Structure 1
């Protein structure tokens, strides 16, 4: 590496955008610059660092190992820049800047639209950036300062992350409409159905496996699916059943294509939380977004949209 390399924030911002979009074309559109200009910036960055950052292929642009390292460092650099700006302007009443919010697919479907609307109303100079991922991935991103606020299920206690409970969800046996006749099912009964389930170390899978192992209940897993959209589609078309929260399938239940019946004996609870790094607690922009998330979830529960 060139020891005289001087960091250019613009070049790093361009690099992050290409890495996130996995495409020079999409990144150029998002940045509103010409693609050749973007390519020149990335090429110059590679020349300055004397490493290849991307591999172009038919799917777009994939990060090299060096690119993965730079992406992690780039996120940290921009978080430090934002933290510096915050510390310098902490006494100002004006709130602004970019807040990255990570959410799993299902909670994000409910929370994100209303959170964005509320944030625009109250804090028009705060720009929200939404990041989708499962809880384990979001916990890692939060710990690495790649996101500022995370909505997660059952995160393990950590000294570097502050966790606040949002709500407790009940797990249900989910099947195609008309296939579940009972008002509730025991875990042993649910486990006997042909199940479509995520692979470990998915947090939901770990939770269900833990209950099943403690009670010596075998789970009849016939298909593994690591995307909730794929899982629901497989169940909808009769390829098995699954175990999810009611909130994960509320739209499909209302449309009459899926059923969701509570699991009892034992009742399996999944706690949804909002989390921030403990060393970011003084950052007002993060704090107000965390408060808005709590407010939105309380409203959704009160309105019966989420339970």
Structure 2
């Protein structure tokens, strides 16, 4: 199964052979034996490498988290009488990655030198799938936690603001209502994503609809399109601090109390945390608490963060 996962990720038996340090003929035999045992082809072979069949894709979806859990369990037992060691996978959305990833990587390197931290970036739908399958150990997710049906920690609430190209809303103050937003051309992710749902639901609650001529499922592309003058969008200001400070983007609160989204931390429900995951989780909470306390991250601490501030 580990060989199968590696070939699926590499797309080539030669690259998988190098990664696993197994001779390519032996690796190919393992894949053929697995296909024979299951009774269906798992890969389509071609000159460029190997691609998963429909059956192979389904097998990968079902076993990747399970195999990873077994590996982490062995690592955790081996490290019980030593310094904290192991591999930890953290998933986060692009807006959080911009604010926090480099800082956390630096802290883990200093305080947990024997822990290998892997960061995966994705959007809300992907993040929830990864944590439910056990592909990652910790994931940022959008609340409320009661909707997620996994183990969570209430992290923070952060404001989401209207971002605009400079000079396009001259005469408009630092706060706007949805009647100002309604005629604006917006650049937003598609409907499966949490940000789109938040903006549409709050606009509807205020008695307005929004115009979204540009559906873009990319944080970097949204930011670029706003700076280019194509349209307006909504993002948390912490993820745009550099652009706002340089005057490349204007940010305004929406409504009397502003628009707020909840962030929680999720961990897999089907297994306990490893020592390494618990150690990274503790550092993560400490770093975010310090950022909120210093004003670097404009947010309200959640229930599981307040005692650290």
Distance 1:256 1:38 in 2: 55
Shifted more, 231-240 versus 79-88: the winner is 79-88
CA deviations 1:140-166 (Å, max 9, x no partner) are 110111111001222542575222122
In the alignment, is residue 143 of structure 1 matched against residue 132 of structure 2?
yes
In the alignment, is residue 121 of structure 1 matched against residue 110 of structure 2?
yes
2:264 alignment partner in structure 1? 273
2:54 aligned residue (65, 70, 80):
65
SS of the residue corresponding to residue 252 of structure 2 reads strand
Question: Contact 1:136 / 1:202 at 8 angstroms: preserved in 2?
Answer: yes
Distance 1:151 1:255 in 2: 28
Over 3 Å counting, the alpha-carbon distance change for 1:109 and 1:52 in structure 2 is: same
Question: Contact 2:178 / 2:206 at 8 angstroms: preserved in 1?
Answer: no
- State TM-score, norm by structure 2: 0.82
Distance 1:250 1:13 in 2: 40
CA deviations 1:100-151 (Å, max 9, x no partner) are 1101011012222121111122222211111111122101110111111001
Question: Contact 2:17 / 2:27 at 8 angstroms: preserved in 1?
Answer: no
2:225 aligned residue (211, 228, 234):
234
1:17 alignment partner in structure 2? 9
Distance 1:113 1:201 in 2: 28
2:19 aligned residue (31, 56, 72):
31
Distance 1:298 1:156 in 2: 20
Question: Contact 1:15 / 1:42 at 8 angstroms: preserved in 2?
Answer: no
CA deviations 1:66-104 (Å, max 9, x no partner) are 222222233233233135325644742432111111010
2:210 alignment partner in structure 1? 219
Within a 5 Å distance, the mapping from 1:35-114 to structure 2 comes to 41=27, 44-46=30-32, 48-50=34-36, 51-53=41-43, 62-85=51-74, 88-89=77-78, 91-114=80-103
Distance 1:254 1:43 in 2: 58
Over 3 Å counting, the alpha-carbon distance change for 1:256 and 1:45 in structure 2 is: same
Q: What displacement does 1:62 show?
A: 4.9
1:197 aligned residue (188, 192, 197):
188
Q: What displacement does 1:250 show?
A: 1.9
Give the superposed CA RMSD: 3.0
SS of the residue corresponding to residue 164 of structure 1 reads strand
Within a 5 Å distance, the mapping from 1:169-188 to structure 2 comes to 169-181=158-170, 182-188=173-179
1:260 alignment partner in structure 2? 251
SS of the residue corresponding to residue 240 of structure 1 reads coil
Distance 2:83 2:289 in 1: 26
SS of the residue corresponding to residue 214 of structure 2 reads strand
Shifted more, 237-246 versus 43-52: the winner is 43-52
Question: Contact 1:149 / 1:274 at 8 angstroms: preserved in 2?
Answer: yes
Q: What displacement does 1:29 show?
A: 11
1:3 alignment partner in structure 2? none
Over 3 Å counting, the alpha-carbon distance change for 1:38 and 1:72 in structure 2 is: farther
CA deviations 1:279-306 (Å, max 9, x no partner) are 4345322211111111121222233332
Q: What displacement does 1:229 show?
A: 1.1
